[in-house]
Amino acid sequence: MNHSFGQTVALFLAAAAIGAVGGLLGVGGGILFVPLLVLVFGFEQHRAQGTTLIAMVPPTGLLAFMNYARAGQVDWRVGLLLMPGVFLGGVAGARLALRLPPQRMRVLFAALVFLMGAFEVYDSLVR
């Protein structure tokens, strides 16, 4: 997919804003990036998800982790126990996602984001 210079600049600025929000709120970039790539930049759902993973996991995940670790905000035991499950679940989830049509993926993604948001609102009002 070729992008004009303007689109490239817009993608960079969006990435900077999403990175800031992710760092501030601990929100995975995929929650913000996937809809942006699909709705604004015209990506197909699977391509948006794959692009988001390469953009977020290596650079942002590592740098954010290093900052949290430096601040003493990492439970190493739990984090290391989570790794195998995340690894295996990620492989299984990606394989399943690639078998589903893009429209179905968009609906599932939107439903998950909606439910997570509704739970956060409910939980913050109840506590």
pLDDT, tens digit, 9 for 90 and up, residues 31-62:
888 899 999 999 999 999 888 888 877 777 78
Euclidean distance between CA atoms 58 and 25, whole angstroms? 19
Provide the residue type at 125 as one letter: L
Buried b / exposed e along 103-115 (16+ C-beta atoms within 10 A): eebbeebeeeeee
Q: Can you give the pLDDT at residue 79?
A: 87
Is the pLDDT assigned to residue 3 strictly greater than 80? no
Instruction: Provide the residue ranges of all domains of the chain, joining segments of one domain with +.
Output: 5-126
Q: Is the dihedral of CA 68, 24, 112, 100 positive or negative?
A: negative
Euclidean distance between CA atoms 11 and 17, whole angstroms? 10
Task: Please state whether the predicted TM-score (pTM) of the whole model is above 0.75.
Answer: no
CB 7 within 8 A of CB 82: no
Q: Binning pLDDT at 50, 70 and 90, where does residue 95 land?
A: very high
